[in-house]
Structure 1
């Protein structure tokens, strides 16, 4: 009786009529396809430039492609190139990336070309950042700039939501990630209509973005690791240990982030801070090897092809070096996101656990390591669970990850984020 009374006391938002949702279909589809095409163009340009810088050019000069000398030269030169963009190009490639998270941020149109150029240079040059944050920012800015004048009757807040969801769908090749992120963002906010009414437009855009990417590029996050059969008690123990360990390692980087950022901020000028950051990244690359360069998605696939190909010590060095490179790249001013480098770090940590204790299945180790690292770095619970699960094509992994996420989340919730305020202090 008491439960029925409490249930009646909760207000239920009325459903939105279908005629109110139908006008969202066309703009959602257009935004979804457009965001995916921009992502694919930027990725293609970066890959072509990367091939020139890291293959053609060193071969022509007779220098080893991933020699210590070439890594130092290329990472420092990338810092110079991005520093010039931040210094001279109108809009200065957007705000300090250390102050930005995964959520959509509307930038003025003048800042978008410089941000795109800085992103392409960063992706090709080797810093340990992914494309997600700047691509989301550019797509949101373009959607607002082009969408509002074209369809002024639609609410202005719709365009950032569509572009954010479409870009996430394009990045992951599935609209599920976008739906999870938006659902998490809507939690605790008053909704106008049912949840699925609020998700209708963004999910349409995410579906269009994911389909465009899938048809043109056929991306996959599945690492091809051995499938997990029937769950065993050692699998549960492995996940419960590894996810919190990865979260703790990630929190070390999160806590160090404001101090590293302050060091580069004291240098005062992008033409000093970014080349200095590039030089540090080159030294880290020399320490960890070429697999610790770039955004990390192709590199983690190379690790997963041969889980027995490196020792536990080598996996541990790669994880720590990549984590340090992520902190430096994000702190010194390179424009980029943190999800894909975190995937590499978590995977290397999981494979290190497998090398130390063969009873830890590689699939369990990778999924649990990625889960804990992403929880610490992104503080996005659904994205962390989804990304860790899709790396391992096994339905049973979801059960392990849901359980392992609980102790890992207790370690990170309420603590500083890897995102800074204007004064350099960490958000919580």
Structure 2
């Protein structure tokens, strides 16, 4: 009887011996450090160019740095500059960004300089996109190309996973985000061995990427909002309502995405699509103000320093304008990711809820607003929870976020994603 029970008991996956994992450490460390340095290099170059374009240059021309005129000039000029890169530079700055998510394809090496240049110009010029998607694509492609030549005996599938984990760790300044994204990706694939054996090399790359970024650039995601005390029933109600409302608002942009993308595609040429997008983004910037420009990370810091400094109407305007700017920038051909501007949208929405109902703690409003928006835009559950939690230093919010994620996920799961196939239909 005991032998029969033993035979029927499910077998756990065998654990890999240490000697099978040790050879992956050096490649993971190398990819982690290199991916971080590439991310920091592109970001720093973009920041220095941004300081010139939005500082000494308008001052020398006696134009207000964030005047309506200068915002129009800069956004249209950015569209022209990126359009030239997409049109003339070898590789055309990679595939249509509307068709690319965090799981970037491996691109030929000739494409990567144009993609990095287009990304830096976009970050400096003001369109509402972040660096994540193109930087992941650059690092994944470089790692696959170099790794396949330097260490040809390693599996070809190893390098993209290491590079993606390293870049996500570098972007967020912690390997936890990388581990969450990779574990979510592994959940849909056949896996040999234990989960932690499969995560060993990516986690090493993510840790090295995060540590390198921390040492070189010292990023911080904590907004410095007042911490929330012991949660009450009203806090749970607020979390459920704000997260669901944010997810529903994000889904409005998701459903509009293929139509806006198709409208810009009718212009057929990057020198028409991108400048036209710059014109629309200039109009949105004039409506929402300069805080609705750029990727949004520095701008949410400005919002959080004075949550009482804007009215509910102003927060609502920034929420809608930033979401529209994200939609336009992602549709017209600018190279960039959607996570960072979506964080701004969720932050503004959460602060709008606090302005409307002062009893809503601003930290709770921001965290749940970001959670719902990221669930709609990225469809990455772990990344959404993690990002929402790290923005506010309140451990008591984590339980509320987990509960609030459930109805928000029901609103977004099984529905179109903010990513298109080659034929323009949305990915589900």
Do residues 317 (structure 1) and 317 (structure 2) align?
Answer: yes
Task: Tell me if the contact between 1:104 and 1:161 (Cα under 8 Å) persists in the aligned partners.
Answer: no
CA 1:101–1:11: 2 relative to 1, 3 Å: farther
Do residues 192 (structure 1) and 192 (structure 2) align?
Answer: yes
CA drift at 1:13: 1.9
CA drift at 1:12: 2.4
1:347-396 alpha-carbon deviations (Å, 9 max, x no partner): 00000000000000000000000000000000000000000000011111
Write the mapping of 1:328-367 to structure 2, written as runs, cut at 5 A. 328-367=328-367
Q: Secondary structure at the match of 2:222?
A: coil
CA 1:178–1:5: 2 relative to 1, 3 Å: farther
User: Residue 183 of structure 1 corresponds to which residue in structure 2?
Assistant: 183
Q: Distance in 2 between matches of 1:8 and 1:69?
A: 74
Q: Distance in 2 between matches of 1:200 and 1:275?
A: 45
CA drift at 1:188: 3.3
Q: Distance in 2 between matches of 1:89 and 1:6?
A: 64
What TM-score does the superposition give when structure 2 sets the normalisation length? 0.98
**Contiguous gaps of at least 5 residues in structure 2:** none
CA 1:340–1:6: 2 relative to 1, 3 Å: farther
CA drift at 1:8: 4.8
Do residues 37 (structure 1) and 55 (structure 2) align?
Answer: no
Q: Distance in 2 between matches of 1:48 and 1:8?
A: 64
CA drift at 1:5: 6.8
1:62-110 alpha-carbon deviations (Å, 9 max, x no partner): 0000000000000000000000000000000000000011113211111
**Aligned-CA RMSD value:** 1.3
User: Residue 120 of structure 2 corresponds to which residue in structure 1?
Assistant: 120
What TM-score does the superposition give when structure 1 sets the normalisation length? 0.98
Task: Tell me if the contact between 1:348 and 1:366 (Cα under 8 Å) persists in the aligned partners.
Answer: yes
Of the structure 1 ranges 78-87 and 147-156, higher mean CA displacement relative to structure 2 is found in 147-156
Q: Distance in 1 between matches of 2:112 and 2:104?
A: 14
Do residues 261 (structure 1) and 247 (structure 2) align?
Answer: no
1:234-287 alpha-carbon deviations (Å, 9 max, x no partner): 111110100000000000000000000000000000000000001100110000
Paired positions, count? 426
Task: Tell me if the contact between 1:35 and 1:166 (Cα under 8 Å) persists in the aligned partners.
Answer: yes
Q: Distance in 1 between matches of 2:137 and 2:40?
A: 15
Do residues 393 (structure 1) and 393 (structure 2) align?
Answer: yes
Task: Tell me if the contact between 1:13 and 1:191 (Cα under 8 Å) persists in the aligned partners.
Answer: no
CA 1:7–1:300: 2 relative to 1, 3 Å: farther
